Amino acid sequence: MRWLDVGQIDDMGRMNSPIHHLDARAKLIVTLAFIVVVMSFDRYAISALTPFFLFLAVLIAAARLPMAPLLRKLLLAAPFAVLVGAFNPFFDHQPVLQIGGWTISGGWISFTNILLRFVLTVGAALVLLATTGMYRLCAALEQLGVPPIFVTQLLFLYRYLFVISDEGAQMVRSVRMRSGVRGLSFREYGGLVGHLLMRSLDRAERVHQAMLTRGFDGNIRRLDSRRFGLSDALFLIFCLSVFIVARSWNLAEHLGRLLN
């Protein structure tokens, strides 16, 4: 169940570190820039991506984030990345690299590239969430001009994840207690999913009623947010500069040449 604990990363957002104290807008822009830059690399790029791993590692260390929960969440999403790139080695046989007696085809390189980019982009998103929290992140989106209706939807989508996961966990517990040695059939699982949906809808209706009784009118008003300060601006400028340098020059290759 710890794998599916959706609140764990959000809880980390309440930790205390210099990265946590930065304005959410600065972290959001840096993360988006990081993702765009990483995705802009050629599909055979491997060594050029290594400085971005270093950047992410420095950020995780500075934020004092525990690695295990981040890795668990990363692994949870990994099958999607594997599925996207798994067929590359079958279609792209063009040899691009010779290591010892082994010839490595373009398919394997592009598959590795997809996995590396997956780790970097999803890792960056997780670090953003773990150093900011969903709530501050949504506030930052609104401050950056995203229409409130989308931000509210996002916030509640996230909130309902907890509702549905709680309802689901209760149902699974109940099923385990009563299903005995015989497992459930697909038909029974189908019924459970339908039931979960109905329970979640009922819950959503009650939450909405609770919101209305407390004056909700379609827009979420929030307590005063932080101001964008000098440290936030410096963090933003520094990170964007690092990305520009790492995108313009293959730092790993230059370092290798230098050492040789």
Partner 1 sequence: MSTPAIEVKNLRYAYPDGTQALRDVSFAIQQGEAVGLVGANGAGKSTLLLHLTGSLRPAQGEIWIMGEQLLPKTKKAVRSRVGLVFQDPDDQLFMPTVEEDVAFGPLHGGCSSEEVERRVAVALEKVGMTRQRARPPYRLSAGEKRAVAIATVLSMSPDALLMDEPSTHLDPRSRRRLIEWLRSYSKARVIATHDLELVVEVCSRVIVLSDGEIVADGPTQTVLNDEPLMLAHGLERPHILLHHHPHDH
**Residues making contact with partner 1 (CB under 8 A):** 7, 10-11, 14, 133-135, 156, 159, 162-163, 166, 203, 206-207, 209-217, 221-224
- Answer left, alpha or beta for residue 201, where phi above 0 means left and psi between -120 and 50 means alpha: alpha
Pull the structure tokens for residue 237.
Answer: 């400028």
**Closest CB 207 distance from partner 1, rounded Å:** 5
Cβ proximity to partner 1: between 42 and 217 the closer is 217
Cβ proximity to partner 1: between 51 and 133 the closer is 133
**Closest CB 165 distance from partner 1, rounded Å:** 10
Give the separation between CA 68 and CA 34, rounded to whole angstroms.
Answer: 23
Cβ proximity to partner 1: between 150 and 162 the closer is 162
Collect all residues with Cβ–Cβ distance below 8 Å to 130 and sequence separation of at least 6. Answer: 9, 12, 13, 15, 63, 65, 70
**Closest CB 235 distance from partner 1, rounded Å:** 24
Cβ proximity to partner 1: between 198 and 212 the closer is 212
155 neighbors 135 (Cβ within 8 angstroms)? yes
Cβ proximity to partner 1: between 166 and 188 the closer is 166
**Closest CB 68 distance from partner 1, rounded Å:** 19
63 neighbors 131 (Cβ within 8 angstroms)? yes
Pull the structure tokens for residue 183.
Answer: 């497992």
Pull the structure tokens for residue 213.
Answer: 């009784």
**Closest CB 19 distance from partner 1, rounded Å:** 18
